[in-house]
Structure 1
Amino acid sequence: MKTVQFNINEPLRFRHFSRKGYALFSSLGKEVLIGVLSVSTLTYAKAQGISTNPLPAADTAATAREQAVGLDEVIVTATRAPLTIGRQARMVTVLDRSDIAAAPVQSVNDLLKYAAGVDVRQRGPIGAQTDVSIRGGNYEQITIMLNGINICDPQTGHNAFDVPVDISEIERIEVLEGPAGRVYGTSSLLGAVNIVTRTPQASSADVHAEGGSYGYLAAGGRVNARSGRWNNQLSAGYTRSDGYSRSKSGALNADYRGGKAFYQGNYEDEQVRVKWHAGLSVKGFGSNTFYGLKWDEQYEHTLKTFTALQAENKQGRLHIKPAVYWNRNEDRFELFRGAPEKYPFNYHRTDVMGINLNSYFDWALGRTAIGAEIRNEDLISGNLGEPLDHPKHIHGTDRKYEYGLNRTNTSLMVEHNVLLERFTLSAGLVAVKNSWSDMGMKVYPGVDATWRFARGWNVFASFNSSLRMPSVTELYYAVGGHKADKHLKPEELSAVEAGVKYQGEGVRGSMSMYRNHFRNLIDWVRDTSLGPEAEWESRNFGRIDAWGLEGNLTLDLHQLLPGQRTLRQLQLAYSYIDQQQKETNGIESKYVLEYLRNKVVGKLRLNLLHAVNMDVAYRYQDRQGSYTNADGNVRNYHPYSVVDVRLSWAKPAFEVYAECNNLTNHRYTDFGTIPQPGIWFVAGVKFQATL
């Protein structure tokens, strides 16, 4: 469920600002309570970056001071330099640990359905393949990060959510909506999603297992070892399902097999904090008619590895945080499952290596952040890219990678923040140069402003811009009725947004309006007047304008209705988008012209008995656009509603739970003619212990 997170960090109390590097806050004329946070936003987020820990109860004087100053003095992450929530002009949706634990979901993809501004279009459940987009965009236009490291695949965004961690190991998921090139660099055309894994504060272990409809089984475990300043954690899991559909021949064509393994460690002392991680995700799934209605036994297999090393200093006026990473993605697509003699399998391998450096410092005129990143994307393929001078062998086959593409992206970012007592201005830019197509240096600016006009109330406004480089698939995919254009231009977007936020006793909410202006938007389109055999072509669709409205409200019913203990929390959210495009008659779009015009999300948390909780989630989605069915007829998407329920009995050492997805057994499609499963039951158990 979408919430604007107002979290509290363990506090530092600066009483003598004139002798500190934080002297810019002295203009407030009062003692300020600040949370500890790294400089960066989602791009460099960490598990401690947004803490959900309350202030120490024993410090009653500090608590009184906080109430006097207000919760809007708590720092959140939505700009390149850390600012308090009262001075923040961007809204970050945070699905925290409690949201994750209470949600009746089996994957990260399912969890994001509860964010009103996010569109989750599934081709298959359990995370088989899902396209995730923000504010009416498509799955290529957002940045996906794991612990602040960009894990996007330049081949295609279809498999972007092959993350190597089980959903039970996630501390929170952060979603920033709207362009933010100066914060996250390229590819964040319409926002970013950051998945942050949890790091227990003590040595511990847990295991879980669950099973359900359609032969669904999943199991996993985690062990964490903490010794002094060192912490090491290892987790692994396996998931399988028979699927919910069969091909015309009677064979399973929506089955799933997948495994994950993840290791993370960190070291921390008074001077530095160092973190590292390594992960593996492997899965194979029936792709039925994912890439064409003619073939209903398609199959895909992916293997991904992730490595990263991050560090930051904790002392000194200049705060520096470097990071290096390497991600490898391997993909095998079978048009005819297990039958390469009918049609050769498609093989792709990408290696993405990057290094970035972020820093900030305080001085007399405010807080300034400076960052840089160099990211190299190298793809070799059986059919994508330019011919290779030296073809490379495809492991496990007698074939070679004969095509490929290598490109390097260089980004420089700068941002400055000016703070007055009730007004904050943040301005910055990103300068980008990509070696692909000899693209020269381009600059994309952004500016945010917020005014705190009353206790608990803020109004904000922003202008931001960003870009996205075409994926290799958009540039070179030319099989199966598709015709790509290798001369595509980068997508560009500029957006304005204004809104209001409120936080009071037991109530928090926000509302915003935005307008997006797209240039050179990329999409796969075809002319329906040419019949169902018309080719899909990648093209720069031109200029499209869209405006939207979002609102959300969270009520703490325990606090608002203290005489009862059954009703815990109510969350409501709504998103509306209107897209204005020209000359679309007779044009069928795969992504750009298909968007959620209306989305309603509601969630109610109940405490039925001691340690027995029930969570009910509701979604209504109204999608614009059309698709061609198996008979060659063009059909419009129809609105649908889904109700999910979770019942749990939780104790400190274990939890037993049962979930029901799509309680009303409604048959619906998120993408074309690919049906989603009806009612789905899951039951499971978790055990945990402190070592």
Structure 2
Amino acid sequence: MKKTMLSIAVLLVSMQLKAQSDTTTQNLEEVIIQENRIQIPFSKQSRNISVIDKLEIETTPARSLQEILSFVPGVDVRQRGVTGVQADIGIRGGSFAQTLMLVNGIKLTDPQSGHHMMNIPVPLVNIDRVEVLKGPGSRIFGQNAYAGAINVITSLTDDRYLRVQGYAGDFGMKGINFAGSLPTGKYKQNLALSYDDSNGYQYNSDYKVSNIFYEGGIDLNEKNSIRGMIAYTDRTFGANGFYTSSFPDQWESIQTTLASLSHTLNLSNFYLNTRAYYRKNVDEYRLRRNEPEFYQNNHQSDVYALEANGNFKTSLGTTGFGIETRKEALESNNLGDRERTLSGIFLEQLVNLGSKVDLRAGIYSNYNSGYGWKHFPGAEVGFQASKDIRIYSGYGVSYRIPSFTDLYYVGPTNIGNDQLTPEQAQNFEVGAKWAKSGFRAELVYFIRNTDDLIEWTRPDENTPWQPQNFNEVKLNGVEASFFYRVNPSASTVQIKEFSFSYNYINADIIQQPGIETRYALTALKNQVIGGVLVGIGKKTEWNTKMRYVERMNQDPYFVMDMRVDYNRLGKIGVFAEASNLTNTEYVEAATIQMPGRWFRAGFMLNIL
């Protein structure tokens, strides 16, 4: 397998080199990373950040954000079935509960369970880009950005468009979505609707997913603007093996609503964004699909939040500040009626020390009604060694509180623990970036030392799983990545994009003897990701993606996917995709066997 991967990599590199001579380049240097307070161009970041832009979203062989994220270095996607109907996302060896998901800076953390992190009510067609912050994010985004954070960005535009996309494929899979931008005067607005379903690739793996998304905004004047968003997703699916292999007839239905309203004041040296948002998640779970009376859980979580974030510039540099308050409530027949209040204060400073060195340092102080005050300092320093090379280092403290499921769940195979305390980690990284003429490369080494890790454990297979604070985890790793993109040229065949990365993580887990752990001993260990986007003529694009994944104590696997687009940017376009061309047998989450080779094809209409 490793020889095969090496051969493919050599072939792609050789093809890439042949394509360099007659192309012009484009890069992400001017993309501003959205971090709520101090916003810095991608090229000046002293953190390990990956950006998935519109081209990658549209040409990757994927039907969901979850599948697209599986090609991001250092990100471990564990899908339960195809198209990410439910998936857990880990970063740098962290669990799904240690990753914070956001939409336009709005936290999607669900107090019931981290398994709801990807219930994102935004159709793929409306996503402008995705920013993946690897490493501690508590100082930037607050609690639960423990191992990293993923921010989904949408945008409002003055351009009018209406797009219709549809597809069908194996397993009775089909889907359609409508997306439009219909600005009226100064008011900009986007509306999208999408629907996907499938009969399932194995017994009890069918699903139906519907999304409605609307956002609008208006610039009141040069200094003031208002933006609002409302979105809804409905996911119903057979959950064969999702939470336990003992009950193949599990079933779940989830409805998530997200609404927000924000105001932005933007002066020459002062910026302030105030925001209110609400998130509701309704979850019905049955152990036997057609027998709700046998065992059923009904949960409803409600999150209300207010935030104010801003910055001001002085001769001392840029000062970022913020305040937030958040109420989380749960009504559940299993977990009981619960609520907790969280508040936080952000403060950070960015200064330039001469022409080549910059320092960014700050602290996030959080109050939790159950655990009191906690403080999370952090800092990054960057050195611009040359126009093309940047060296950086950083330190940060990260923090995660237990979910209500961790604390209070009672079931036949899982039992909560109301004595849990939050987990906390010390993080350090050092890295170097190089960018020139469409080339980007990065090498980073990172360390995370965790205290009081929350891990589900059991003494034997006849005992239910229960979370404990007992593991100490010392994790370190290295990530090396390379990316190259060119502008289209007149060549008949052209390498338009090439990427390759390698990630290695070593987890030194100190655990109690005779105790089985559920997640910690399956952390990501080796990951190789590669891709090449080939342009054929003016209208055809052929994208090949591959990934090799090895997790601790699990068999490694290699998967290759492909997509071909014709006239993607024209009035009428078509595409065809193939997943798992290698027909690999592999498992990503629990004991759920992923499908072998499968196909789908579709169309795109750009009406306006």
Name the TM-score, length of structure 1 as normaliser. 0.81
Q: Is 2:562 the partner of 1:645?
A: yes
Show the counterpart of 1:687.
Answer: 605
Q: Is 2:163 the partner of 1:206?
A: yes
The 1-side partners of 2:69 and 2:143 are apart by: 22
Q: Confirm or deny: 8 A CA contact 2:578 2:600 kept in the other structure.
A: yes
Q: For residues 185-234 of structure 1, give each alpha carbon's deviation from its aligned partner in whole angstroms, at most 9, with x where no partner exists.
A: 11111111111124343222111110000000101102221122101221
Show the counterpart of 2:98.
Answer: 141
Alignment equivalent of 2:61, drawn from 104, 112, 132 = 104
Q: For residues 505-535 of structure 1, give each alpha carbon's deviation from its aligned partner in whole angstroms, at most 9, with x where no partner exists.
A: 23111110000011111111122xx3x2122
Q: Confirm or deny: 8 A CA contact 1:497 1:512 kept in the other structure.
A: yes
Q: Confirm or deny: 8 A CA contact 2:46 2:392 kept in the other structure.
A: yes
The 1-side partners of 2:28 and 2:202 are apart by: 50
Alignment equivalent of 1:418, drawn from 341, 351, 370 = 351
Alignment equivalent of 1:458, drawn from 390, 414, 421 = 390
Write the letter of the residue equivalent to 1:238. Answer: Y
Show the counterpart of 2:142.
Answer: 185
Moved more, 222-231 or 234-243: 222-231
Q: Is 2:452 the partner of 1:520?
A: yes
The 1-side partners of 2:158 and 2:602 are apart by: 26
Structure 1 pair 524/99, CA: closer, same or farther in 2 (3 Å)? Answer: same
Show the counterpart of 1:623.
Answer: 551
Q: Is 2:569 the partner of 1:657?
A: no
Alignment equivalent of 2:340, drawn from 378, 382, 407 = 407
- Cα distance, 1:367 vs structure 2: 1.0
- Cα distance, 1:545 vs structure 2: 0.6
The 1-side partners of 2:541 and 2:60 are apart by: 12
Q: Is 2:132 the partner of 1:215?
A: no
Moved more, 413-422 or 71-80: 71-80
Q: Is 2:469 the partner of 1:540?
A: yes
The residue correspondences of 1:281-680 to structure 2 (distance < 5 A) are 281-341=233-293, 343-384=294-335, 403-419=336-352, 420-436=354-370, 439-527=371-459, 530=460, 532-556=461-485, 565-583=493-511, 585-625=513-553, 637-650=554-567, 651-680=569-598
The 2-side partners of 1:577 and 1:652 are apart by: 43
- Cα distance, 1:87 vs structure 2: 4.0
Q: Confirm or deny: 8 A CA contact 2:451 2:473 kept in the other structure.
A: yes
The 1-side partners of 2:273 and 2:571 are apart by: 37
The 1-side partners of 2:291 and 2:49 are apart by: 46
* Unmatched 5+ stretches in structure 2: 1-25
- Cα distance, 1:71 vs structure 2: 8.8
Q: Confirm or deny: 8 A CA contact 1:446 1:462 kept in the other structure.
A: yes
Give the SS at the match of 2:96.
Answer: coil
Q: Confirm or deny: 8 A CA contact 2:162 2:179 kept in the other structure.
A: yes
Structure 1 pair 265/552, CA: closer, same or farther in 2 (3 Å)? Answer: same
- Cα distance, 1:592 vs structure 2: 1.7
Give the SS at the match of 1:214.
Answer: helix
Structure 1 pair 212/564, CA: closer, same or farther in 2 (3 Å)? Answer: closer
The residue correspondences of 1:217-236 to structure 2 (distance < 5 A) are 217-236=174-193
The 1-side partners of 2:45 and 2:556 are apart by: 35
Q: Confirm or deny: 8 A CA contact 2:215 2:227 kept in the other structure.
A: yes
Write the letter of the residue equivalent to 1:476. Answer: Y
Q: For residues 643-684 of structure 1, give each alpha carbon's deviation from its aligned partner in whole angstroms, at most 9, with x where no partner exists.
A: 000011014212100000001111110123210111110100
- Cα distance, 1:279 vs structure 2: 0.6
Moved more, 544-553 or 85-94: 85-94
Give the SS at the match of 1:226.
Answer: coil
Q: Confirm or deny: 8 A CA contact 1:413 1:428 kept in the other structure.
A: yes
The 2-side partners of 1:609 and 1:317 are apart by: 48
Q: For residues 140-193 of structure 1, give each alpha carbon's deviation from its aligned partner in whole angstroms, at most 9, with x where no partner exists.
A: 111111121111111011121111122122111111001121110111111111
Structure 1 pair 294/310, CA: closer, same or farther in 2 (3 Å)? Answer: same
Structure 1 pair 241/179, CA: closer, same or farther in 2 (3 Å)? Answer: same
Write the letter of the residue equivalent to 1:453. Answer: A
Q: Confirm or deny: 8 A CA contact 2:420 2:469 kept in the other structure.
A: yes
CA RMSD of aligned residues (A): 1.9
The 2-side partners of 1:122 and 1:266 are apart by: 35
Structure 1 pair 72/178, CA: closer, same or farther in 2 (3 Å)? Answer: same
The 2-side partners of 1:199 and 1:573 are apart by: 33
Q: For residues 592-624 of structure 1, give each alpha carbon's deviation from its aligned partner in whole angstroms, at most 9, with x where no partner exists.
A: 221110000000011123301100000000011
* Unmatched 5+ stretches in structure 1: 1-66, 247-252, 385-402, 626-636
Moved more, 288-297 or 96-105: 288-297
Give the SS at the match of 1:110.
Answer: helix
Give the SS at the match of 2:385.
Answer: strand
Q: For residues 402-443 of structure 1, give each alpha carbon's deviation from its aligned partner in whole angstroms, at most 9, with x where no partner exists.
A: x2110011110100111131000111000111002xx22111
The 1-side partners of 2:35 and 2:331 are apart by: 36
Give the SS at the match of 1:162.
Answer: coil
